[in-house]
């Protein structure tokens, strides 16, 4: 096996990974950085972000750090660690200005200053944006900035198979060059996992196909706890039937939600905030309307409500929501300038992730985690829109700086022969050389149906218990072989490993959700419909055990605002 040496290896080429690489070379100019991505670097899921990036940049016009902190904590249903929220809020404005200097095409006011729009759960319109293509432009800006550095090497279409840990220290990782099928080792002093979330566990989702829980499962397998995985955000407005995101920007610019009776039903559920209540509130409201037969019928079961942006006006739609218009025209043949858009909630964001400190450190020396793969925790039980791209930028910077500083004094460690031989055996003998009759793609379909049916917006204890039994049955049937024996671009092999990761993380999600007998943020139990601060104001930590996830709990760090009722 060929072994390649670097000072820092970053897994993932989304906003967090690219920002980490940029900060690493700004911190230590001579550092050798490798970015490994299983797609093309500019095709990561980050490009799908649409709405904006939240930041306090107008204190002279009434915004404040205190307001952003308070909004984020309330939005989290008080499960966020408040010291992490404060650090995050105070750090993001600098990122907005850095990107501006790097050429980010922010949407602007007539006077040339960066514009901001309204998003749900905020008490001030603090979402900076670039029309409705924020993710695309952030990735392009960061990627372009990295082209100036010869010491940053990007490995496109490389699939990371596992981490190599020796004596609780990161020493390297293994990855397959998908073009050739060769398995290589990457020795490194530091590593940042920026691998994204777990949304492809669901069938109806806004996630890209590449978001398959790989990094979460890699951390879980080497003993790191997955934190708060029961909290999956469902975005209220995904296009039916595709699941493509219809950004919260549409509601921020004046869009309204209507049921089949023509009622603006959010007046019933959030009379003050209406469509701009936090996402957990709006998603539950939509599903309540559908369950009460006030939605529009769909033959495939994806009943929906309507998002009406016609009142915004043609010119404003063309200027501020061009991608939403394009998506509706190209996928459904309707123009939202004069037609309503069919929507329902879809899996959109993972509030949980690999447990990390406020500095992005994991329990393994030399290994950091950033972006959606991490759980610091900033978002708690429910993320506010536009805080996700902001988190990727802030923690890309923090982990990039910390990993580079670690690399200054650390030395490369040997990847043991036992670890190399074990990984070669697992990939080429057990998977490529195995035999069996199970179709992995049908297993994936079954997994996603389980999650859609049992761990959606509303959940019940009996449903979750049955889902755990079913997912364990899938695990017992899976991963006996890879049908395609070719080495070059063997997506059958990588798909099988992805499904393995999805089943492991899906089990963690279900077990964590079953254990939490309360309703908080995005986790709503119909059999326990109230928040229970006495028993459940705590984080879930899921460790890999011999017979499944082993749950422990950790306190929420509260240093500013005591829990109280959320009212919108």
DSSP string, 160-222: EEEEEEETTEEEEEEEEETTTTEEEEEEEEEEEE-----GGGSSSBSS-TT--SHHHHHHHHT
Tokens 């990974």, residue? 17
List, in order, residues 6 or more apart from 404 with CB less than 8 Å away: 7, 8, 23, 24, 25, 27, 28, 31, 190
406 catalytically annotated: no
Which residue, 30, 29, 38, is CA-closest to 11?
38
Q: Is the dihedral of CA 525, 530, 536, 541 positive or negative?
A: positive
Query: How many CA atoms lie within 13 Å of 303's alpha carbon, on the beta-carbon side?
Result: 14
Q: What is the DSSP letter of 341?
A: E
Torsion on CA atoms 4, 8, 13, 18, rounded to nearest 10: -140
d(CA 521, CA 267): 20
Contact 376/16 with Cβ under 8 angstroms? no
235 catalytically annotated: yes
Tokens 């959320």, residue? 566
List, in order, residues 6 or more apart from 263 with CB less than 8 Å away: 294
d(CA 176, CA 164): 14
Catalytic member of 19, 32, 133, 235: 235
List, in order, residues 6 or more apart from 272 with CB less than 8 Å away: 567, 568
Torsion on CA atoms 553, 555, 557, 563, rounded to nearest 10: 110
d(CA 326, CA 318): 9
**Other C-beta atoms lying within 10 Å of the C-beta of residue 547:** 6
What's the distance, CA 348 to chain centroid? 7
CA angle 145, 147, 149 (to 5 degrees): 95
**Other C-beta atoms lying within 10 Å of the C-beta of residue 273:** 18
Helix axes 134-146, 82-102, angle to 10 degrees: 70
Start-to-end CA distance of the chain, whole Å, equals 58
Tokens encoding 221: 């397998």
Diameter over CA atoms, the chain:
67
Strand locations in 332-451 (E) = 341-350, 353-355, 367-369, 374-375
Which residue, 302, 326, 327, 328, is CA-closest to 241?
302
Contact 133/247 with Cβ under 8 angstroms? no
Residues with a catalytic annotation lie at 235, 251
């Amino acid at each position: 096996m060929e072994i390649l040496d670097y000072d820092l290896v970053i897994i993932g080429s989304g906003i967090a990974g690219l920002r980490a690489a940029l900060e690493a070379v700004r911190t230590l100019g001579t550092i050798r950085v490798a970015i490994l991505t299983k797609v093309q670097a500019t095709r990561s899921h980050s490009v799908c972000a649409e709405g904006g990036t939240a930041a306090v940049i107008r204190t002279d016009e009434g915004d404040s750090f205190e307001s952003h902190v308070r909004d984020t904590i309330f939005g989290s249903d008080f499960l966020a660690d408040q010291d992490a929220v404060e650090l995050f809020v105070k750090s993001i404005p600098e990122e907005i200005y850095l990107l501006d200097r790097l050429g980010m095409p922010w949407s602007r006011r007539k006077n040339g200053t960066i514009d901001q729009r309204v998003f749900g759960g905020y008490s001030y319109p603090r979402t900076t944006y670039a029309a409705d293509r924020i993710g695309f432009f952030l990735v392009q800006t960061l990627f372009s900035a990295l082209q100036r550095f010869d010491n940053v090497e990007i490995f496109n279409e490389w699939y990371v198979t596992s981490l190599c840990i020796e004596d609780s220290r990161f020493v390297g990782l293994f990855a397959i060059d998908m073009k050739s099928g060769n398995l290589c080792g990457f020795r490194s002093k530091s590593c940042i996992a920026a691998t994204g979330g777990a949304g492809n566990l669901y069938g109806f989702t806004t996630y890209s196909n590449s978001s398959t829980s790989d990094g979460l499962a890699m951390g879980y397998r080497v003993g790191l706890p997955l934190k708060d995985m029961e909290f999956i955000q469902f975005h209220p407005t995904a296009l039916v039937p595709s699941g493509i995101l219809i950004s919260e920007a549409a509601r921020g610019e004046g869009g309204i939600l209507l049921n089949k009776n023509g009622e603006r039903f959010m007046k019933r559920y959030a009379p003050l905030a209406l469509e701009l209540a936090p996402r957990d509130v709006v998603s539950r409201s939509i599903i309540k309307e559908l369950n009460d037969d006030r939605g529009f019928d769909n033959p495939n079961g994806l009943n929906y409500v309507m998002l009406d942006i016609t009142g915004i006006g043609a010119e404003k739609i063309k200027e501020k929501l061009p991608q939403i218009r394009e998506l509706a025209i190209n996928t459904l043949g309707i123009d939202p300038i004069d037609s309503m858009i069919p929507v329902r909630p879809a899996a959109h964001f993972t509030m949980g992730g690999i447990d990390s400190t406020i500095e992005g450190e994991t329990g393994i020396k030399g290994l950091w985690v950033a972006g959606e793969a991490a759980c610091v925790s900033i978002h708690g039980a429910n993320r506010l829109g536009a805080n996700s791209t902001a988190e990727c930028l802030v923690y890309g910077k923090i982990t990039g700086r910390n990993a580079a500083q670690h690399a200054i004094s650390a030395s490369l460690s040997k990847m043991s022969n036992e670890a190399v031989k074990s990984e070669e055996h697992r990939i080429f003998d057990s998977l490529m050389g195995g035999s069996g009759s199970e179709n992995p793609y049908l297993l994936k379909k079954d997994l996603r149906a389980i999650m859609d049916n049992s761990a959606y917006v509303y959940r019940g204890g009996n449903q979750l218990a049955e889902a755990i039994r079913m997912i364990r049955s899938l695990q017992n049937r899976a991963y006996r072989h890879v049908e395609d024996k070719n080495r070059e671009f063997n997506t059958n092999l990588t798909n099988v490993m992805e499904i393995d990761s999805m089943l492991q993380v899906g089990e963690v999600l279900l077990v964590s959700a079953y254990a939490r007998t309360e309703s908080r943020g995005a986790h709503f139990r119909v059999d326990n419909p109230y928040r229970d601060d006495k028993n459940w104001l705590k984080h879930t930590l899921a460790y890999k055990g011999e017979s499944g996830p082993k749950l422990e709990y950790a306190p929420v760090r509260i240093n500013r605002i005591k829990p109280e009722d959320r009212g919108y």
